[in-house]
Structure 1
Amino acid sequence: MPIDSSVTYAIGDLQGCYQSLVTLIDKIEAITPNARFIFVGDLVNRGSQSLQTLRLIRSLGERAQAILGNHDLHLLAAAHGIRKLHRGDTLDEILDAPDREELLDWLRHRPLALFQQNHLFIHAGVLPQWSAAKTMALAQEVADTLQSPRWVDFLREMYGNQPLHWDDALKGNERLRCIVNALTRLRFCTEDGTMELAAKESTGISLPGYMPWFDAPQRQTEDVTVVFGHWSTLGLVLRPNLIGLDTGCVWGGKLTAVRLADRMVVQVSCPQAQRPG
């Protein structure tokens, strides 16, 4: 579905914050009737209404596009017994839902990246040596695997931090794992694209040579606008070629949307009551 940037809003990490999403959509539609939405991943988990959130986004049909984040992949892995649920997970209601299989099938058919009207949408980051075209091609490799008969086998091999550095010669699960880690987990890397996958600070990092992925010199995606989420301690980022949208809704921050045509920001406050007590 090609986007019309005058009516399209990119929306940050939802993480199951259904009530805030409903409020945000109502607020947007009062400004832009029949608006369209692009969700930058982490649709579910940690918030208290992941099931309702997933159902709502799916029900929007062609009005909404969504990409996969690390929490969404975690749901797919947990649903097949590959990953145990963590203490703070809120995925049981999806796993126990009567429409579980329909929702999970819809989710695994979401892409890991979108590129429309010179905007590149990803969940976390891109390595500095990847152009927008290369990012889309690599994301498609993962999407093809997730939509193939061997997708569950791949989920079993998806987790792990190695390799930390991209090489075009990578093959098989190591290649796919490196792509997934960059697109759904990356915050910091070195100038040559070596990833650091543990730190969650806002911008400072104690490891010499590491920097936010978007500050890497000669980043090959500087010629497009990259739209991303994943980094709640960073907050809203609006640069000429960068839009960061994770403003910590599930942690009591805000849920943020940005209209692509003019960078108009629409936000709603997100009480921590959306998290389970």
Structure 2
Amino acid sequence: MATYCIGDIQGCHDEFLALLDRLQFDPKRDRLWLTGDLVNRGPRSLAVMRYVRDLGDCATVILGNHDIHMLAAWAGASNLKKNDTVQHVLDARDADELMHWLRRQPLLHEDPGLGYVMLHAGLLPAWTLEQARERAREAETALAGEGYRELFDHIYGDTPDNWSDDLTGWDRLRCIINAFTRMRFCDMQGRMRMDYKGPPGGQPDGLVPWFQVPGRKPMPAGLTLVVGHWSTLGYLEQGDLVALDTGCLWGGCLTAIRLDGERQRISQPCPGAKRPG
């Protein structure tokens, strides 16, 4: 049995299946971890969702920002944007079934036996893994609960930009969800900054990638954090972090790593559904 983690698919169904073929993936034997953003901007989000949903327990999916955005549009809390490509998902005969399945997926998944923790974007630098677990479960409960529509009414916004134990209500949930699904850069005090999405090196003065904030709480010994989300960062192995979004959507690659045993990287070249920007 093999366990693979694959970066952001974003509706690139054909490239996803081609990568699974290269991995010789067998759902009766193997396991998949998916770092979120199953949908949007690529051409076949509905096919990706149906395929992954039908894999059942052999696939573990983390919610990403594009998944959250589609859920909010389905719930009537947001309009789709010009470059969104998920209307066919919302119009599908099984849309409600798929959306209810999606909103019950986690924000954080871990397997100490494999030595990996998976999430979409990042962890606030001040959070320990134990604190991140608690906050992920808090937001997951709200997303999966009966009041999910009201949550989506309040989910958008860039503030609060930093964690405080005094946060309550929608501000608290928004801060948690933003950290797990949207964060790239922080200032030197660990406050999230959402207004720059480019690669490290081009950011405004005073900002650093979230994982380079001084004093960031590291993963416990023996655990590595694996994330997606940041296509302009590309593949990165640095300390206790592996970043997997290699820009399949933009003509890069769709990348997997094998988690069991010695880490292996396998990438599938992609023709590109769009161009950056």
- Fold equivalence (TM over 0.5): yes
Percentage of pairs with the same residue = 43
Q: CA shift at 1:181, angstroms?
A: 0.7
Q: Please, which of 191, 195, 198 is the counterpart of residue 194 of structure 1?
A: 191
Supply the distance in 2 between the matched residues of 1:71 and 1:273 (Cα, whole angstroms): 16
Output aligned runs, 1:130-149, within 5 Å: 130-149=127-146
Please state how far the C-alpha of 1:190 moved relative to its aligned partner: 2.3
- 1:25 pairs with one of 17, 20, 23: 20
* Residue of structure 2 equivalent to 1:269: 269
1:40-189 residue pairs with structure 2 within 5 A? 40-117=35-112, 118-189=115-186
- Kindly indicate whether the alpha-carbon contact (under 8 Å) linking 1:28 and 1:35 is maintained by their aligned counterparts in 2: no
Q: What is residue 247 of structure 1 aligned with on the other side?
A: 246
Structure 2, gaps ≥5 residues long: none
Deviation at 1:206, TM superposition (A): 4.0
Structure 1: gaps of 5 or more residues? 1-5
After TM superposition, the score normalised by the length of structure 2 is 0.93
Question: What secondary structure sits across from 1:60 in the alignment?
Answer: helix
SS of equivalent residue, structure 2 residue 24: helix
Distance 2:109 2:187 in 1: 25
Distance in structure 1 (CA, Å) of the matches to 2:111 and 2:94 = 31
Maintained 8 Å contact 1:9/1:257: yes
**TM-superposed deviation, 1:265:** 0.7
The one-letter amino acid paired with 1:230 is H
Q: Deviations over 1:174-205 (max 9, x none)?
A: 00000011110100112332011121121124
Which is further off, 266-275 or 164-173? 266-275
Question: In 2, Cα distance between the equivalents of 1:69 and 1:268?
Answer: 21
Q: Secondary structure at the match of 1:65?
A: strand
> Which residue is 1:220 aligned to?
217
Q: 1:145 to 1:130 in 2, by over 3 A?
A: same
TM-score norm. by structure 1 comes to 0.93
**Quick check: 1:185–1:197 contact (8 Å CA) kept in 2?**
yes
Deviation at 1:240, TM superposition (A): 3.8
CA contact (8 A) 1:40 1:122 kept: yes
Letter in 2 for 1:196: R
